[in-house]
Structure 1
């Protein structure tokens, strides 16, 4: 332990084909770590963790930006800073950034705050940058190279407050110490030492854990099979996180009429879902209603002209359940095309489907809600009411200058909130943004508050090929509300990002929400699954939470639905890429237990 060297190197990557790893992804800051000072190991699947924000133009549109030549440094207070050259999305010089560099701060190299452009000089483009905090003088020493090849230096007491900076002066040329980083495509920059705790947390947050051992009592006292089946195992993972798992106990050797101690074996149960679960089904949603599970999704097989539903008494049974059509584009005059992203939600004892549809053109796509009649059967089309277009509190349409879609719900403390994707098309196409509002729980198609903007596709992973954030869905825990969103084009570049807020916060205050700078799930997270996204969540009979998502089994293959258990990391945040073989170690499936059978009390 004493000989461990905890260092982190930052780097960008060489771009690949647009659908594999475009400049918008490659020109972001990546991290790798070493504990021996020699071999660096990739973090976050060799994907970026820090992206430059897009610039907002005067007409409201976003201009995508990237970053090059990031430089990590220690701040005076023990936190971290990053300086980088802001570029256009493709890596070419950014005219707005002439004479400036981007400045970020971070407490942990996981969550970053972009402070904007730090002006160094009114001269030329900055092509390289470095910064060190000098303890003796209590100043930051910034050195940079401009496009004419000249080098300059500037001293600052506080790098976040440029007003106190001394004027730049010429300095000697500098070069960064070469780092041998044997990681695909890596363009290495500098490395810094970090405390052991920081290094461990980076590893825990940015690598996928594996199942390493089990915790199970050596002996239990029971008096029935039902009590025995309630005995579960705690799976321990390499990062110290845990998951409770059910066990299939072999109780054949137990004589329940004879008290005593029995040694039995069992197998940890793992529901396995082969991907794809459903082909040509995108934007999937599974919900439980009246003791049954139901599955709905966008139907890519017929060009999004129908919505069908599956029913089963278990989630695993939905994979083979028969589909029944409950809506098509011939049933209603106002829904003729683009039946997208249906979601099932139980609200106030009523079952609803939230969906998007259009009267004809793309520009007419709007969010709608349809309600199941009292005592109705979700599999019978006639039991569903006419889809109602979502309206504002005054009864006017939710949005008329563009489209709305992917509406979902979030219930907290007796109040109902809706979140959706909204794309302004007139007078300019702004891309798809995420909004929230409070809605009437008795008429969930009617807002009772003004819409509030939560998020824009400002990062390269969200505006990759197109400016889109969509598909919000809430996952609630005791302390936090997580809303996963999907970004980029619905091809292999599609990915999942995340917003979060404290459970007791004002959900309509955008300043209460935090947006993760890097995506939660991408094509690099699970081999063979491309463009994962538009996921929802469902809890099974054991209390296990599942992510229901779509992805492609190959680049250019159709969108298909899949399921994966949601794991919670060291901070209690969802992990969506824990594959089955890492979730349950085959060598640890078998467990053993001494069972003390008590005599049943007479009475």
Structure 2
């Protein structure tokens, strides 16, 4: 066979447009904590924590960012309550408008709250991002990691927060929203650290001798079953892992209707050299047939909450009783097929 024909066949076999390959290995980027993706009209819109701004990527294939469009869509004004520590942004399309939710503070972690921007353009890379303000519940307390979703055609937010004004324990709260930038009514506590695996991470601080953590909540629905997947224990530890809440009744605002799984469902794998997997999100394949988890993790023990965390993804499956099965976080040597088209 002609050498040029062989090269062409290899290229066509291994590429799917935009230079994207049909297989990949984790991580999908060298660095990036709190990864989140929205699939909209043939493209993945991806983001992660940058810290001082909001950055958005656009790609046909989350496994290949080599030709992805990238844009800083917002830099906070200086000297505001939301100028620093911009964490865990999420881009959502709600009623044909774009919204980005993020946590930020004024340089003092005690003042972390949730905020939202709106863009009425169909294309989030064009149009104007308008600051809509703080998304505050009653009572207004420390809040991070907001996730917005629809349940029975009503809008809700879940997030991680403190009961009072002092660090010491992070809980998962839920509240109904009357608009994409306003919360209606009081917040409702649906999860707090109960088990030993949710309480790993002493800070060796006299004022904060330990921190029990539930954070990064994500809504997940499958065949009528409703779940919230959340991260537990300190992100600075290798024990950072995912837990599961399952809705057992119709009333999503009734704490008694949320049942917590007694064991973590996704945790470190020393065999695969994946440590502290957590702060995940979910997405479907372009053809809608596969469910995927997008998460960050470290490649070595003891790397903590810094820039070593990198985004990874893998397909999930479902048990006979409708519970998600994540398996083990795959190694960086494992070749995976991209989400099905």
> Which interval holds the TM-score relative to the shorter structure?
0.7 to 0.9
Change (3 A) 1:487 1:585: closer
TM-superposed CA distance for 1:536, in Å, is: 0.4
Change (3 A) 1:271 1:501: farther
> Aligned residue for 1:461?
197
TM-superposed CA distance for 1:451, in Å, is: 1.1
8 A Cα contact 1:422 1:434, kept in partner: yes
Is residue 390 from structure 1 mapped to residue 119 from structure 2 by the alignment?
no
Matches within 5 A, 1:94-173: none
Aligned residues: 301
> Aligned residue for 1:478?
223
TM-superposed CA distance for 1:330, in Å, is: 4.2
Change (3 A) 1:386 1:509: same
Change (3 A) 1:374 1:326: closer
> Aligned residue for 2:30?
279
8 A Cα contact 2:294 2:312, kept in partner: yes
Query: What is the rounded CA distance, in whole Å, between the counterparts of 2:163 and 2:24 in structure 1?
Result: 38
Is residue 369 from structure 1 mapped to residue 105 from structure 2 by the alignment?
no
8 A Cα contact 2:220 2:227, kept in partner: yes
TM-superposed CA distance for 1:414, in Å, is: 1.1
Query: What is the rounded CA distance, in whole Å, between the counterparts of 2:175 and 2:36 in structure 1?
Result: 21
> Aligned residue for 1:562?
312
TM-superposed CA distance for 1:573, in Å, is: 1.1
8 A Cα contact 2:24 2:335, kept in partner: no
TM-superposed CA distance for 1:373, in Å, is: 2.5
Q: Secondary structure at the match of 2:89?
A: strand
Which structure is higher in RCO with an 8 Å CA cutoff and minimum separation 6?
Answer: 2
Q: Secondary structure at the match of 1:363?
A: helix
Is residue 292 from structure 1 mapped to residue 43 from structure 2 by the alignment?
yes
Q: Secondary structure at the match of 2:256?
A: helix
8 A Cα contact 1:416 1:438, kept in partner: yes
Is residue 404 from structure 1 mapped to residue 151 from structure 2 by the alignment?
no
TM-superposed CA distance for 1:329, in Å, is: 4.0
Query: What is the rounded CA distance, in whole Å, between the counterparts of 2:239 and 2:335 in structure 1?
Result: 31
TM-superposed CA distance for 1:429, in Å, is: 3.5
8 A Cα contact 2:218 2:229, kept in partner: yes
Change (3 A) 1:316 1:332: farther
Q: TM-score, normalising length from structure 2? A: 0.80
Matches within 5 A, 1:20-419: 272-299=23-50, 304-318=51-65, 321-330=68-77, 333-375=80-122, 377-380=123-126, 383-392=128-137, 398-400=138-140, 402-419=141-158
Query: What is the rounded CA distance, in whole Å, between the counterparts of 1:323 and 1:286 in structure 2?
Result: 14
Change (3 A) 1:359 1:567: same
Give ranges in structure 1 of 5+ residues lacking alignment. Answer: 1-247, 250-269, 393-397, 587-603
> Aligned residue for 1:536?
281
> Aligned residue for 1:245?
none
Query: What is the rounded CA distance, in whole Å, between the counterparts of 2:198 and 2:330 in structure 1?
Result: 28
Q: Deviations over 1:409-438 (max 9, x none)?
A: 221221111101112453x43411001111
Q: TM-score, normalising length from structure 1? A: 0.47
Q: Secondary structure at the match of 1:551?
A: strand
Query: What is the rounded CA distance, in whole Å, between the counterparts of 2:129 and 2:302 in structure 1?
Result: 35
Change (3 A) 1:565 1:525: farther
> Aligned residue for 1:513?
258
TM-superposed CA distance for 1:322, in Å, is: 4.5
Query: What is the rounded CA distance, in whole Å, between the counterparts of 1:297 and 1:585 in structure 2?
Result: 23
8 A Cα contact 2:99 2:116, kept in partner: yes
Query: What is the rounded CA distance, in whole Å, between the counterparts of 2:164 and 2:85 in structure 1?
Result: 17
Is residue 498 from structure 1 mapped to residue 268 from structure 2 by the alignment?
no
Give ranges in structure 2 of 5+ residues lacking alignment. Answer: 1-11, 14-20, 202-210, 337-341
TM-superposed CA distance for 1:559, in Å, is: 0.8
Change (3 A) 1:438 1:336: same
Query: What is the rounded CA distance, in whole Å, between the counterparts of 1:458 and 1:522 in structure 2?
Result: 17
- Alpha-carbon RMSD across the aligned residues, in angstroms, is 2.7
Change (3 A) 1:429 1:360: closer
Query: What is the rounded CA distance, in whole Å, between the counterparts of 2:270 and 2:292 in structure 1?
Result: 17
> Aligned residue for 2:188?
452
Is residue 433 from structure 1 mapped to residue 171 from structure 2 by the alignment?
yes
Q: Secondary structure at the match of 2:280?
A: strand
TM-superposed CA distance for 1:305, in Å, is: 1.4
Q: Deviations over 1:202-234 (max 9, x none)?
A: xxxxxxxxxxxxxxxxxxxxxxxxxxxxxxxxx
8 A Cα contact 2:292 2:316, kept in partner: yes
8 A Cα contact 1:526 1:579, kept in partner: no
Is residue 571 from structure 1 mapped to residue 321 from structure 2 by the alignment?
yes
